[in-house]
Structure formats: C-alpha cells, structure tokens
Amino acid sequence: MAKFKNHILVCAGTGCRASQSELIVENLNRAIEDNNLGDEVQVVRTGCFGFCEKGPVVKMMPDNTFYVQVTPADASELVTEHIVKGRKVNRLLYVDPDSHKVISDSKEMGFYKKQIRIALRNCGFINPENVDEYIARDGYAALGKALTEMTPEQVIKEIIDSGLRGRGGGGFPTGLKWDITRKVKADQKYVVCNADEGDPGAFMDRSILEGDPHSVIEAMAINGYCTGASKGLVYIRAEYPLAIERLKIAIKQAREYGLLGENIFGSDFCFDIELRYGAGAFVCGEETSLIHSMEGLRGEPNVKPPFPSESGYKGKPTNVNNVETYANIPVILLNGSKWFSAIGTEKSKGTKVFALAGKVNNVGLIEVPMGTTLREVIFDIGGGIKDGKKFKAVQTGGPSGGCLTEKHLDIPIDYDSLLACGSMMGSGGMIVMDEDDCMVAMAKFYLEFTVEESCGKCTPCRIGNKRLHEILEKITQGKGTKEDLTLLRNLSYVIKDTSLCGLGQTSPNPVLSTMENFADEYEAHVVDGKCPAGQCKALMQYVIDPEACVGCTLCSRVCPVDAISGEKKMAHIINPAICIKCGACMEKCKFNAISIQ
C-alpha cells in the first residue's frame, strides 16, 4: 500500500452529494493526475462532517484545513495552490460571521467547539467503504476484547455501568435491555437495529450508517455475543439508498475479514447480519410494528408486554436498539464505563446527536454532551437565527415532541428535563423556528403528519387525531371559537391516555405544548381573527396604502380575480371578499404601496 503524504477528505454524505461532491472528487483526482501527485495525495470520500450548511466540505489532512462551499470548479486550484504550493485558498475558508475572522482549523469554529464526538467519532474521518480504515481507528477491537477477554455478563455489566440509555426516543437503559434478552431462554434469538428514522427533519442515524457503518455492525455482533443471538437484522428505510449501499459493502467486507460469520476471532461465536427494508411508514419505527413489518405484514403495533426482548421477531426474544445506541457500544467497551459515565448529567450519560435544522444559521449534524443547554446548541453551535430574525421556538422529539420557547433555553438537555417541560428527547430532530412561524400552523403541520401516519389500528389515534387536525384547520381558517380551544385540549388528553402505541400517546404533544406556551397566539386566531406571525393565509389581508398608491393600475391588471378597483391616477382599493391572497399585486407594485395586515 502506498504511503500518502496528504489526504483530501471530501464529504460524501447525502447532503453534500446533492451539491455535486462526487464531481469534486472526480475533478480533484484529475488535478492530482495532472500534477503527477498520484503517489502522494489520496482523495477520500467520507461520511458527513456535520456542517451541512456550508457544504460541500473538503478537508485537507494532515494540516486540518477546512474548506467550505467548494464547487467542482475549485478542485484544481485546491490541488495546485494548497498541495503543490502550500498556500491556503483563502476565499474558500470559513469566515466567522461575528468576528469576520477567517478560520481554517475546524476545531476553532463555533460550530465545533462545544461538540464532543462519540457516536460520530469516525464520521468525516474515514472512508466508510473501507474496513481497513475503520480497523485502523480501533475498529473491531471491542468485539475482539469482548470475545476473548470478557464473559457476556461482564460486557453487559460494563454497559449498565456506563449509564447508556436508548437513543431511539424512549431512553430505556440499554444494558438492562440486553440483560433481559439474555436471560430469556430460547433456541434462537435475534438482534435488530432500528434504522427506520421516521422523524421528518432528522438525519442522525442515516449519517452514522453512511459515515461509519462498521461501528453498528460491530455493536450488533457484541450484542449477539451477550444475548446469545446468532442472527442480526437491520431494518432500514428504503428512502436511504446511500446508507443501504454502504451497509451492504460493510457487511460484505466484515464477512471477508471473518468479523461476521462462523467462529469469529477463533471463538465459537457465530453471527451474521441481513438487511430488511422499510417502505415508508413512520409507525414502523415503533419496535413491535417494525417486527411485524420484517415478517412481511402490515406494520401495526401490538400491546406491550410482551416486549420484544421476550417475544419478538418470529416469536423469539429480540433485542431492538437504535443505530446511535449501537454506535456508542464499541467505544464504551474500549474506554470503559467510567469514562463514558463521566460525560453528561446524573441520569443521562454520554452525548446525543442532533440534526439541527430550520431557521438557524448553521444547519447540520451535531453531537453534544448531555446537559448542554438549548441556548448553547442554537446560538453557539447553530450560530443563531437566520437573517437576524428573532428566535421563537424549538421543536425537539419530532412529531411526538413539543415546542419549547425562550424560557426553556437554559435548561440542560437530557431525557428527564425535556420530558418535564412537555417535550421529549425523541430521536434527535431539532427544528428551530423564528418569529415568522405561526405556532397554530406548526401544530397543524405535525397533526397532518400524524393523521397520515396513524396505522388505524386503534380508534383514539385514527379518529381523534383527524378531529384534532380539523379543529386546527378551522382555527387557521379564522373560523375557530373559544369552545374549540377547550375541545382541542380535552381531546388531546383523551388521545394521549387511550391510544395503543407511542404514536398516538404522543401525537397531541405539539398541540398541547403550543397551547401552553403560545396561548395568546391561539387567542389571537379565534378572538381577534388575526395570525400574529402572518402565516395563516385566511387571516391575512392585502391592503393598499392610499398615500403611497399613485394609481398606476398595474395591480388591478395583474389581479387574477379582479379584486382591485380604482380610477387611473387615483388610489386603488382591494376588495377583501374577492381577494384570493395570491400576492401577485404586492409583487408587482413598484411603489411599495401594498402590504399584508
């Protein structure tokens, strides 16, 4: 193998690939050829660096120079300047938006400063399609250690002591789950990885699978050793073609190296992994639905207990864990439970990966120690709100979570404190909203999702959520009453209390939390007939300022429904009864005379 002096790391995650990072790789390779540097410089396609906002990202090693928003046309300059002449290409470096200073080392950027990468330790560092690079960073050492030096009980004790809790949403202690699965007697057991990631706006698990698939494979094998399972199944969304591809490659390589298959590390432990594909149903992220789906059935949940640990896939004990939960396992075994439990808060140990998105400056994938505050995440890491607007709310926990506000910004992020203020950790989606977002419309958006995704098995969720959605629709149309608000609240509690699975039990959370934190906004909709954020179309009015209008007649000519009248050279008026609020007039007006009220 040739020893390379320089490595150029190019992000090949879904986000950066969408901005042509493949072409950047091609052009870099061509430039390297042209400069006869083929023996010295290697281009590596890596998983997500996390800083998706500034993608495509290209990182130069060994000097750690971090280039942002690179285009394919920049490739040859990067090679001739940075590599050949040793000069940084300044225009592609990151500029700190506050200090306006150029920062070339990612460790110095606000976005990375407060992060600790455990689950994402390899994302953006290794080529996920090459098992040797994973092994070079201590990959499969934890599996080797478990198989040759530890008993299953010792491994499980280490996981219990670490305090690791499930990252899929529920936060159940992982070691305990493993122990339960281990203790059930059966001729066959299964290890399942939940890679369904249904929360829209979340992409943590996908990034781990794309950037570091072997860590999940290794952890599943360790679980198999502990629980006595010889078969692993990864349930992955069909919408994630790149993650599927990388997993397939990783499984194949692991088999070739004898890290999967018969007698792993010379022990009598045998283990192999297969893939099962989801088909676009959110409820299949729920573990009992997931198991039904893997059995070729409609993905409808069951009443628990029995839990999958007792009776799961094909009626056998099945250990279901989330992708990120697994990704933590190998490091815990290598560094020890003490190291892990020193990070985080009293009841939530370690770190959590979040997909930070919405109206923040730095959209991306971040990993922070438990106990970091929302303020640090949104303002220090996220770089504050886009376009200098005002922060309004942040939704954690996706459609099952709640909207948190200004007053929650300083609470430490962990399972229990988020639950205490009416939201939840969820799988790690974090959507930031600004003053332009209407909270009633937001609740409606989430309910629309729930209604679409309810499996229909139980009545409160199937019918109740539909009614909730209808009431919210009525309110955003300006036809809501005060009684509707009471109804909305009562119905929400009924749905929470009586639904069969976690989907229905949490679906009213966005409604309840917005009603609690933005009561005045609901009031404004039903009492004053106004949408303070100016988002609900039915409650908006386009008006012409008679002072500013010069009577050019342009607006009345573009109005598709003839709602505007007025003499030439005289102020015009819009008839609200006819206006369909398309905004065409406002767009055309050259005198800024038309506004929304």
Partner 1 sequence: MANIKLPDNKKKELKEVCAKLNNDPGELINALHAAQGLFGYLPAEVQELVAQEMNVSVAHVYGVVTFYSFFSMTPKGEHPISICMGTACYVRGAEKVLDEFKKLLNVKVGETTPDGKFSLSCLRCVGACGLAPVVTVGDKVFGRVAPEDVKTILEEYNN
Q: Interface with ligand FES by CB under 6 A: which residues?
A: 200-201
| Spatial distance between the Cα atoms of 573 and 405, rounded to a whole number of angstroms | 39
Instruction: Write the DSSP assignment of 123-167 as a string of letters.
Output: TTTS-TT-HHHHHHTTTTHHHHHHHHH--HHHHHHHHHHHT-B-T
457 binds ligand SF4 (CB under 6 A): yes
410 binds partner 1 (CB under 8 A): no
| Spatial distance between the Cα atoms of 463 and 523, rounded to a whole number of angstroms | 25
287 binds ligand FMN (CB under 6 A): yes
Instruction: Pick the piece of the chain touching ligand SF4 (CB under 6 A) from 72-80, 128-136, 328-336, 496-504.
Output: 496-504
| Spatial distance between the Cα atoms of 330 and 309, rounded to a whole number of angstroms | 21
| Spatial distance between the Cα atoms of 267 and 276, rounded to a whole number of angstroms | 28
Task: Rule CB under 6 A: choose which of 127, 499, 514, 556 binds ligand SF4.
Answer: 499
Backbone angles phi, psi at 173, to 5 degrees: -60, 125
Q: Contacts with ligand SF4: how many residues (CB under 6 A)?
A: 14
| Token digits of residue 466 | 């539909």
501 binds ligand SF4 (CB under 6 A): yes
Q: Contacts with partner 1: how many residues (CB under 8 A)?
A: 53
| Token digits of residue 234 | 């990864």
290 binds ligand SF4 (CB under 6 A): no
| Token digits of residue 170 | 């529920």
Q: Which is nearer to partner 1, 218 or 434 (CB)?
A: 434
Q: What is the end-to-end Cα distance of the chain in Å, rounded?
A: 68
Cβ atoms of 134 and 47 closer than 8 Å: no
Residues 482-541 that bind partner 1 (CB under 8 A): none
Instruction: Pick the piece of the chain touching ligand SF4 (CB under 6 A) from 125-133, 373-381, 451-459, 562-570.
Output: 451-459
503 binds ligand SF4 (CB under 6 A): yes
Instruction: Pick the piece of the chain touching ligand FMN (CB under 6 A) from 194-202, 264-272, 460-468, 516-524.
Output: 194-202
Per-residue mark of binding to partner 1, 34-63 (x: CB under 8 A) = ------------------xx-x--------
Q: Which is nearer to ligand FMN, 209 or 559 (CB)?
A: 209
580 binds partner 1 (CB under 8 A): no
Minimum distance, C-beta of residue 199 to ligand FMN, in the bound complex (Å): 6
Backbone angles phi, psi at 158, to 5 degrees: -60, -45
Minimum distance, C-beta of residue 201 to ligand FES, in the bound complex (Å): 4
Q: Which is nearer to partner 1, 288 or 348 (CB)?
A: 288
Instruction: Pick the piece of the chain touching ligand FMN (CB under 6 A) from 218-226, 284-292, 348-356, 531-539.
Output: 284-292
Residue 296: which of ligand FES, ligand SF4, partner 1, none does it interact with, CB under 5 to 8 A by kind? partner 1
Q: In Å, how far are 97, 492, 495 from 508, measured between CA atoms?
A: 38, 5, 7
Minimum distance, C-beta of residue 125 to ligand SF4, in the bound complex (Å): 39
Strands 58-61 and 65-67: antiparallel
Cβ atoms of 318 and 306 closer than 8 Å: no
Task: Rule CB under 6 A: choose which of 32, 222, 500, 526 binds ligand SF4.
Answer: 500
Place of tokens 């090693």: 61
280 binds ligand SF4 (CB under 6 A): no
162 binds ligand FMN (CB under 6 A): no
Residue 279: which of ligand FMN, partner 1, ligand FES, none does it interact with, CB under 5 to 8 A by kind? partner 1
Task: Rule CB under 8 A: choose which of 280, 315, 546, 576 binds partner 1.
Answer: 280
Minimum distance, C-beta of residue 454 to ligand SF4, in the bound complex (Å): 4
Within 10 Å of residue 570's Cβ, how many Cβ atoms? 12
Per-residue mark of binding to partner 1, 338-357 (x: CB under 8 A) = -----------------x-x
| Token digits of residue 315 | 């009626």
Instruction: Write the DSSP assignment of 242-298 as a string of letters.
Output: HHHHHHHHHHHHHHHTTSSBSSGGGSS--BEEEEEE--S-GGGGSHHHHHHHHTTS-
Instruction: Pick the piece of the chain touching ligand FMN (CB under 6 A) from 18-26, 63-71, 280-288, 352-360.
Output: 280-288
Q: Which is nearer to ligand FMN, 293 or 362 (CB)?
A: 293
Minimum distance, C-beta of residue 308 to partner 1, in the bound complex (Å): 16
Task: Rule CB under 8 A: choose which of 60, 68, 363, 443 binds partner 1.
Answer: 363
Burial 216-231 (b: 16+ CB within 10 A, else e): bbbbbbbbbbbbbbbb
| Spatial distance between the Cα atoms of 532 and 520, rounded to a whole number of angstroms | 9
| Spatial distance between the Cα atoms of 48 and 25, rounded to a whole number of angstroms | 15
426 binds ligand FMN (CB under 6 A): no
Q: Which is nearer to ligand FMN, 172 or 277 (CB)?
A: 172
Per-residue mark of binding to partner 1, 420-459 (x: CB under 8 A) = ---------x-xxx---x----x--xx--x--x--x----
Q: Amino acid letter at 112?
A: Y
Q: Amino acid letter at 186?
A: A
- In 3D space, the residue among 317, 315, 316, 308 whose CA is nearest the CA of residue 286 turns out to be 308
Q: Which is nearer to ligand FES, 201 or 566 (CB)?
A: 201
Q: What is the enclosing helix (H) or strand (E) of 584? A: helix 584-588
| Spatial distance between the Cα atoms of 415 and 424, rounded to a whole number of angstroms | 7
Minimum distance, C-beta of residue 215 to ligand FMN, in the bound complex (Å): 14
SS3 211: helix
Q: Which is nearer to partner 1, 139 or 428 (CB)?
A: 428
Minimum distance, C-beta of residue 239 to ligand FES, in the bound complex (Å): 10
In DSSP terms, 58 is beta-bridged to: 10, 67
**How many degrees, rounded to 5, is the angle at CA 316 between CA 311 and CA 321?**
75
Instruction: Pick the piece of the chain touching ligand SF4 (CB under 6 A) from 13-21, 164-172, 186-194, 500-508.
Output: 500-508
| Token digits of residue 258 | 């004898």
| Spatial distance between the Cα atoms of 156 and 159, rounded to a whole number of angstroms | 5
List residues near ligand SF4 by CB under 6 A.
283, 301, 454-458, 461-462, 499-501, 503-504
List residues near ligand FMN by CB under 6 A.
166-170, 172, 194, 196-198, 283, 285-287, 320-322, 325, 427, 501-503
